[in-house]
Amino acid sequence: MSGAVSNPVLPGFHPDPTVCRVGDDYWLVTSTFEYFPGLPVHHSTDLARWEHVGHAIDRRSQLDMEGVRPSGGLYAPTLRHHDGTFWMTCTLVDGHRGAGNFVMSAEHPAGPWSDVTWLEDAEGIDPSLFFDDDGSAWYLGARPTHDPHPEDPQTTDIWLRRFDVRTRQLVGPEHVLWHGALHAAVWAEGPHLYKVDGRYLLVIAEGGTDVHHAVTVARADHVTGPYSGNRANPVLTHRHLGRDHPVSSVGHAELVEGPDGAWWAFALGTRPVDGHHLLGRETFVVPARWEDGWPVLAPGVGQVTPLVEHPAVPDGEVVRPAADEPFTETFADPTTGGLSPRWNRLRTGDDPADTTSRPGALRLALRPATLDEPTTPAFLGLRQQHHRARFTTTVEAPGLAAHERAGLAVRQKDTHHAVLALRDGGDARVVELVLTQGDERTTVGTLPLPGDGPVDLRVTADRLTYTAEAREPDGAWTTVGTVDGRALSTQTAGGFTGVHLGVYATSDGHATTAVADVVHATYEPLD
């Protein structure tokens, strides 16, 4: 009896996992949409313990995402290794200075990665690369069917063309491989191709990335097909378990074989609470084995489980994600420029992080931009990775004008967020909690805090409730207000991302020289 790993292995907003093994090293990358740096790279030597080691997109010169809409941006990367080089393909959706599918390369997955090369004639989304035994390289993608049947308007093609490694472009004829396992399958997408025992296995997602999401497979004797689906399709799904199951929307899987010959599948899923999920789509793992030339995912169980037995874990032990440990940022680590790679900003505008003007603090220059706009406001956020968690920060922002705010934010998207911030209240400084839902902005609560010194702010997530509190240092915490988390869920707001908790400052459309100093920030899991 071995130990176990805890699911999800990457909690919080980590969708569309792609996994690549080279020797004894495993590398895992996920989608990031409008957040930057993009495409986080995680490393493991045992498939049980994962470390965040860098990002594939970490400079504006690679990719300009300014103006990208919420849940636009970077979709569904695929990571592969061939002949000493790592390759990444991905889709940029809604880029104003370039959009479509691209490819990039690196000598090491932690970076640096090359600038992107846009792929001509690569229609659709969810690109993938496959390197065959004979040295040939192939590109796969998903796109709407060009001539759909009137009864099947959402049918998509999984298609394939050769990829020229030297020119980094597609060449040769196109081959449509599959349309999914179900008749009129909605959004057959996320294709990955493998060669196992001389046969080609195609793994895709279908059913849409909600409760009907599923993993289906097909195989062929030749890379260009024809492909035949497995009678056991879908090989992994939770759509039959109901909306109240603890894990939902399972799909978009990637297979990987370990040096010991054991196979594993990594897939996305969500953990809803009363039909609403706030954490986004997360990365889960299940074991896999082969029967009759087909992969069986989660054998004997047929679903994602909270714990997965793992031979790399000692008997009686459970490996939990690194995110389950409290995280404190003091903005003082010289090896990271004073800022952990766990922080994200929005899009690729000017970096709001200034850790040099005041050593040991993060200085945010108040910007006219707000969280309502598809740009880069003065916001830095951490993924919310637990149903119950607390984010605490200390902010110094003396002399704020009436239109200026500095504090923390709970962000789902541009149109759905909550802000707990200092502002000038006229007779006295106040802390104010404001909820934005579409065109509606509601002041949930205010708390006077006379003086001009530092203020501690915190927000506590408890399943579907966010409680906002404030205090002067060493004082008692006072509740400013509570927000119904359903207002910030994917089911209410739409889109593909999860909630971020972070620090935020704005001058709300006005020019200013004001700054806010963040001298402490802590994310604490409470589950």
189 is catalytic: yes
Task: Compute the distance between CA of residue 228 and CA of residue 218 in angstroms, rounded to an integer.
Answer: 5
Rg from Cα positions in the chain: 23
Q: Are residues 391 and 422 in the same domain?
A: yes
Checking DSSP bridges between strand 236-237 and strand 214-220, what pairing results, if any? antiparallel
pLDDT of the residue at 158:
97
Task: Compute the distance between CA of residue 229 and CA of residue 244 in angstroms, rounded to an integer.
Answer: 30
* Domain boundary, last residue among 324, 359, 382: 324
Partners of 469 in the beta sheet?
458, 479
Q: Are residues 314 and 336 in the same domain?
A: no
pLDDT of the residue at 336:
55
Q: Are residues 267 and 145 in the same domain?
A: yes
pLDDT of the residue at 10:
98
Q: Are residues 46 and 190 in the same domain?
A: yes
Question: Which structural domain, as residue segments, surrounds residue 333?
Answer: 327-525
At 513, which CATH number? 2.60.120.200
424 is catalytic: no
Q: Are residues 280 and 359 in the same domain?
A: no
Task: Compute the distance between CA of residue 43 and CA of residue 162 in angstroms, rounded to an integer.
Answer: 29
Q: Are residues 295 and 334 in the same domain?
A: no
Task: Compute the distance between CA of residue 384 and CA of residue 270 in angstroms, rounded to an integer.
Answer: 13
Q: Are residues 393 and 301 in the same domain?
A: no
Task: Compute the distance between CA of residue 42 and CA of residue 40 in angstroms, rounded to an integer.
Answer: 7
pLDDT of the residue at 27:
98
pLDDT of the residue at 332:
73
Q: How far apart are the first and last CA of the chain?
A: 27
Total count of domains within the chain: 2
* Domain boundary, last residue among 302, 324, 346: 324
Q: Which residues contact 369 (CB under 8 A, 6 or more apart)?
A: 349, 375, 376, 377, 378, 506
Helix (H, G, I), strand (E, B) or coil at 74: strand
**Residue given tokens 């493991």 in the structure block:** 44
Q: Are residues 100 and 199 in the same domain?
A: yes
User: What's the pLDDT tens digit per position in 352-392?
Assistant: 999 999 988 999 999 999 999 999 999 999 999 999 999 99
Q: Are residues 378 and 521 in the same domain?
A: yes
Mean pLDDT split into 10-residue runs, the chain, 527 residues: 92 98 97 98 96 96 94 98 98 90 98 96 97 97 83 85 98 96 88 98 96 97 98 97 96 96 97 97 98 97 97 95 94 69 95 92 96 97 98 95 96 98 90 97 95 95 98 94 97 96 97 95 95
User: What's the pLDDT tens digit per position in 146-180?
Assistant: 877 666 777 899 999 999 999 999 999 999 999 99
Preceding omega of 37 cis (within 30 degrees of 0): yes
Q: Are residues 466 and 494 in the same domain?
A: yes
* Domain boundary, last residue among 270, 300, 324: 324
Q: Are residues 451 and 397 in the same domain?
A: yes
Q: Are residues 123 and 257 in the same domain?
A: yes
Checking DSSP bridges between strand 388-396 and strand 125-131, what pairing results, if any? unpaired
**Residue given tokens 């205010």 in the structure block:** 446
Catalytic residue among 189, 254, 354, 517: 189
At 161, which CATH number? 2.115.10.20
